[in-house]
Amino acid sequence: MLKPNYFKFRPLVKLFTLVIISNLLQFIHFQNSKRDCQIKDQGLLSLISQISRCTNLSTLMLQLRDNQLFFKDSLGFERLMNLKNLKMDLRGNLIYQKGIITLGSCLEKCKNLKNLFIDLSSGNNLSTVSINDSVPIVSNLKLIQSLTLKPWYKKYEKSDINYLIHQLNELRKLNYLNLTIDFSAPVIKDMKQQFYNKLKRQNIKLVQILNV
C-alpha cells in the first residue's frame, strides 16, 4: 500500500486527484511513454501546473521518454518552490539547443533543489549542442548536493573539461557527481589528473567515469 504522502500514477489517472490530496503529497512519480499517450509540451505544462498545487512536494520523478517534448517555452518549474529532489528521464524526445536553454532557465528557479538526475543520453536533436550548453542547467543551483547528468555527447575537447572545472566552482555544496567522461581520448588524456584534483579540493565524490 502506498503511503499517503506518496503518489505514483500514469496519464490515465485524472489530475484532479492531486488537488484533493495536495496537502499530503511529498513524493510524486509520474510515468508516461508513447504506449500511453504523448503528452508533448502543453501536456507537461498542464501537469506541472497541477503538481505545483502540492505545496509540500519535495520529490518529483518524471519518466517522460518518447513524448515529443521540445521545451520551447517555460515548463512551470518555478512553481515548485519546495522541490528538493528531481529525476527526469527525457530520452527519445525532440529537444534542441533552445530546449536545453529553456530547461536550465526553469531549473534555476528551483532554489531548494539538492538532488538532480537528468537523462538525455539518447534521442533528441542535440548533435550540435556542447557541454558548454548543458552545464549551465545546474550552475545556478547553489544548494545542489548530488548531480547525475547522462548527456548525449561522447567526445570532449580540452575546452569542455576546462569549462566543466570552472563551473564546479559555482557548486559549493556538491558532494556527488555522476558524469561519464572518457579520458582515454588522446585530446583530453593529459587533463585527467587536473580534473581529479579539482574534485578532490572540493571533496566531490565522482560516482561514475568511463574508460579511465
What secondary structure letter does DSSP report for 24?
T
Look up the pTM and report it: 0.82
Cell of 147: 548531480
What secondary structure letter does DSSP report for 66?
T
pLDDT less than 70: residues of the chain:
1-25, 33-37, 124-137, 152-155, 207-212
pLDDT of residue 181: 75
What lies within 8 Å, CB to CB, of 192 at 6+ separation is 183, 212
| CATH 3.40.50.1000 assigned to 6-153 | no
Q: Where are the domains of the chain?
A: 6-153
pLDDT of residue 1: 36
pLDDT of residue 206: 73
pLDDT of residue 116: 94
pLDDT of residue 20: 44
Instruction: Compute the distance between CA of residue 197 and CA of residue 143 in angstroms, rounded to an integer.
Output: 22
Instruction: Compute the distance between CA of residue 84 and CA of residue 56 in angstroms, rounded to an integer.
Output: 11
Exposed e or buried b per residue across 186-206, where buried means at least 16 C-beta atoms within 10 angstroms of its C-beta? eebeebeeebeebeeeeebee
Q: Locate cell 505514483: which residue?
A: 8
